[in-house]
Amino acid sequence: MLFLGSASYGFSIGFFHSTTYALRNLIKFPLLICVTASICAMSYFLVSRLLGARIGFFSVQKLSLDIFAGISLLLASLSVTNLFLALTLDPPSSAVELGGYRFFQGFNILLISICGSLALIREGGQLLAAQDLGAKRVSALILVWLALSLFVGGQGAWYLRPFFGVSTHPHFQEFCRGTQIDEGGINNFFEAVYHLVFQPGH
């Protein structure tokens, strides 16, 4: 489910740019999910130990797998909506006039964040409910896990970008931009989100 769900969602977000992007994302988006799940699995375990939660190593690994399988399932259910938007929103007409690109990108970043939070709260809450940790420690652990997931997933997406792509920008033809700095000196996921929301300089 993790691979199929994430691949179908990746295809839908890439379709806004082209069929080529959609096909690339059949590989890239499941790769992002798998890498994020692997890094988070170790991070979740270390954080749980630091906060005094004696959860078994393999229980935390299973938790991470369940969380990201849940994320993939939730995102897969939104693939048809994304395809509809990709077909109906105005495409970019120039390097300045981006049509519906900003809305589509922002909408999907929000969707991924919501789906990730819901899956982590559900699966993490079920696991921690069996632990005698107290409500404050459980809440703290969930919040730290959420922050870790956002950081790892966001930066992973930055290194594997572009997933969406602007057809009028030559550099968006690349398969993967890695650590290359984008226009405006943007060099990480969080700066990119800031520029997407506030559009400084416009």
Average pLDDT over residues 145-163: 95
> pLDDT (tens digit, 9 = 90+) per residue, 35-92?
999 999 999 999 999 988 888 999 999 999 999 999 999 999 999 999 999 999 998 8
* pLDDT score of 171: 60
- Residue 57 backbone dihedrals phi, psi, to 5 degrees: -55, -50
* pLDDT score of 153: 96
Asked if the model's pLDDT at residue 188 lies above 60, the reply is yes
Asked if the model's pLDDT at residue 136 lies above 60, the reply is yes
Average pLDDT over residues 125-130: 84
In Å, what is the CA distance from 111 to each residue of 71, 100, 120, 142, 146? 10, 16, 14, 19, 15
Average pLDDT over residues 109-131: 91
* pLDDT score of 84: 96
| Residue of 184 and 196 predicted with greater confidence | 196
- Nearest CA-CA partner of 47 in 173, 159, 142: 142
pLDDT tier for residue 16 given thresholds of 50, 70 and 90:
very high
Q: How many domains does the chain have?
A: 1
Share of the chain above pLDDT 70, in %: 97
Question: What is the residue-wise DSSP string for the chain?
Answer: -HHHHHHHHHHHHHTTT-HHHHHHHHHHHHHHHHHHHHHHHHHHHHHHHHTT----HHHHHHHHHHHHHHHHHHHHTTHHHHHHHHHHSPPP-SSS--TTHHHHHHHHHHHHHHHHHHHHHHHHHHHHHTS---HHHHHHHHHHHHHHHHHHHHHHHHHH--SS--TT-GGGGSS--TT---GGG--SHHHHHHHHHH-TT-
pLDDT tier for residue 113 given thresholds of 50, 70 and 90:
very high
Global pTM reads 0.92
Average pLDDT over all residues of the chain: 90
Domain that holds residue 37: 2-198
* pLDDT score of 76: 96
* pLDDT score of 201: 59
